[in-house]
Amino acid sequence: MASLLPRLAIPKAEPGQLDPRSLFAPLPGSSQRDVRLEIGFGGGEHLLARAAVSSETGYLGAEPFVNGVAKLLAGIHAHDLQNIRIHHDDARDLMEWLAPASITGVDILYPDPWPKSRHHKRRFIRTSTIAELGRIMRPGAELLFASDIEDYVRWTQDLMADAAEFQPVHPVGGDQRHPPDGKRPSPPGGCRPISHSNALKRFSLVLSGNAYIFQQTFNKGIPR
Ligand SMILES: C[S@@+](CC[C@H](N)C(=O)[O-])C[C@H]1O[C@@H](n2cnc3c(N)ncnc32)[C@H](O)[C@@H]1O
């Protein structure tokens, strides 16, 4: 932790000034590196798996939980990964530093659910974070939100439906009722989760110009 974290820590930047590609070695030729962000990576299992299969993509991970950061660092060291940078703190600081339209994908996987009504305001997904996500994500970028708490899934759907920079498209993946061919109309009120009370629900919101796609799958694991 003492030796690797300082090398991989994302330096503080002025609001909106951080080009995340500058944190990584340039790719050969003129190709521009994609950079994804994972918010609340826990022990870093998903982040490590993604980074291992896509070495040309840069990955930013934000996590205040020290044991999680230590676990991620152990994984980075064990697999000699060069494409992860870490913000060991609140993801909202990092989001504020990031330049507009600089991120090609965001993963928010099983965020703290804060199930009691009086604690809902502590949920990571709220109007202000959705606005920040819309600012830092490139057109076409993907926001993958996963939760097994139905109330949090509905909460996220409702807030996303109100976000001007996002517009619902059709769910793809697990929900065959609304195939991803764009030909069928969305259900009234936007896409709804399939009710399987014990199923894990994963929503992928794709920001595409002014559009996002809800995607539902029922397995916890690395998406396609
Ligand atoms: C329920 S855990 C899920 C961890 C991991 N994503 C997984 O699926 O196993 C939620 C994580 O989000 C982190 N977290 C909570 N608030 C955060 C914030 N504002 N910024 C970054 N991470 C946060 C917590 O420390 C915790 O590790």
112 is catalytic: yes
Question: What architecture does CATH give domain 4-8+34-217?
Answer: 3-Layer(aba) Sandwich (3.40)
Residue nearest to atom 18 of ligand 1 (CA): 90
Q: Which of the residue ranges 29-33, 38-42, 96-100, 215-219 would you say has the lowest mean pLDDT?
A: 215-219
For the cut 70, the answer to whether the pLDDT of residue 149 exceeds it is yes
Token pair in block for residue 152 = 């949090």
Cα(43) to ligand 1 centroid in Å equals 9
126-155: average pLDDT: 84
For the cut 60, the answer to whether the pLDDT of residue 166 exceeds it is yes
126 pLDDT band, cuts 50/70/90, is very high
For the cut 90, the answer to whether the pLDDT of residue 8 exceeds it is yes
Three-point CA angle 37, 161, 107, nearest 5°: 15
197-206: average pLDDT: 36
Token pair in block for residue 26 = 């340039």
Maximum mean pLDDT: which of 27-31, 55-59, 153-157? 55-59
159-183: average pLDDT: 51
60-87: average pLDDT: 96
Contact in structure between 166 and 130 (CB atoms under 8 Å)? yes
The residues lining ligand 1, judged by C-beta closer than 6 Å to any ligand atom, are 39-42, 62-65, 68, 90-92, 109-112, 124
Cα(42) to ligand 1 centroid in Å equals 5
pLDDT averaged over every residue in the chain? 77
Q: At what angle do helices 66-79 and 45-53 cross, to 10 degrees?
A: 30
Q: Model's pTM, two decimal places?
A: 0.81
Rounded Cα gap, residues 57 and 50, in angstroms: 9
